Amino acid sequence: MVNYFRYLQLKNPLQAALEAFYPPLCRLCGDSGDSGIDLCLGCQESLPWNSPACPRCAMPAQGQDLPCRCINEPWPFTSATVPLLYEGAVATLVGGFKYHGNLAQGQLLGKILSKALEASEKSLPRHLIPLPLHYRRLRQRGFEQTNELARAISKDNPSIIPTPILNRRRATSQQSLLAASQRHANVYQAFEVNARTLLPKHVALLDDVVTTGATAISAAKALISAGAERVDLWAVARASINS
Ligand SMILES: [Zn+2]
Ligand SMILES: [Zn+2]
């Protein structure tokens, strides 16, 4: 099972040299950052890591056989990489990023996800498809959070190309305000693929926080009906269903 925290500690020579000139600072406590990440060692260690987790649906796993019970349920993703749990300091970082426009916190979260992908040893697609906001919400927020995360991942791993080809067909209610049972209906057929795009066979869908997975599932179905043969799910954090 991948230990994401240990993986953050690995440094390459360029990273070590950069750190000597531009030492990173911890975005949670203000101490010196570590391993090229804007988090000190203590804060990295105390993050709520989602490990061990099911490699197919990223639900936290506690000693059961893997893949977990998702193997018997409709789940369009071949694999899922979601390194953190949405609680404590992670909820603070995600909230600062999404609702207060702290883009540096978004870059940090993107970098953590990127390191987790490297650690996962899964076969990674070249095309990363950010899950889009509806244009009205985008206008309110002023930035697309999944594009920001995609930028951080691609900066860390230039062979991964952000490919923003999904559109929201209609505005949907905010999923976090709905009961779990209402979430699938809210996002049913909410997405479409830009018709002029030739879709690669293997793609990753990028979201920030996954709860029931209803939004991501709806987006994955749009990608599969447009010709994708394998869709992986990448997200920063897994929230419990009651979040
Ligand atoms: Zn710290
Ligand atoms: Zn599972």
pLDDT digits (tens, 9 = 90+) for 69-124: 899 988 999 999 999 999 999 999 999 999 999 999 999 999 999 999 999 888 89
CA of 32 to the centre of ligand 1 (A): 7
- What token pair was written down for 15? 């990273």
CA of 57 to the centre of ligand 2 (A): 4
Phi and psi (nearest 5°) for 123? -75, 120
- What token pair was written down for 22? 């531009």
Would you give the DSSP letter of residue 82? -
Q: What is the pLDDT of residues 195-213, one digit of tens each?
A: 676 788 999 999 999 988 8
* Ligand located closest to 68 CA: 2
- pLDDT at position 14, please? 67
Q: What is the pLDDT of residues 145-160, one digit of tens each?
A: 999 999 999 999 999 9
CA of 122 to the centre of ligand 1 (A): 30
CA of 13 to the centre of ligand 2 (A): 37
* Ligand located closest to 31 CA: 1
The chain-wide mean pLDDT, for the chain, equals 87
> Does position 185 have pLDDT exceeding 90, yes or no?
no
Which of residues 93 and 9 earns the better pLDDT score? 93
Side-chain half-sphere exposure of 65, counting CA atoms within 13 A: 4
- State the Cα–Cα distance between residues 16 and 31, nearest whole angstrom: 18
Which of residues 147 and 180 earns the better pLDDT score? 147
Query: Which CATH architecture group holds 50-238?
Result: 3-Layer(aba) Sandwich (3.40)
Nearest to 216 by CA among 153, 150, 131: 131
- State the Cα–Cα distance between residues 155 and 222, nearest whole angstrom: 27
Sequence-distant (6+) residues with CB within 8 A of 158 are none
Indicate the domain borders of the chain: 1-46, 50-238
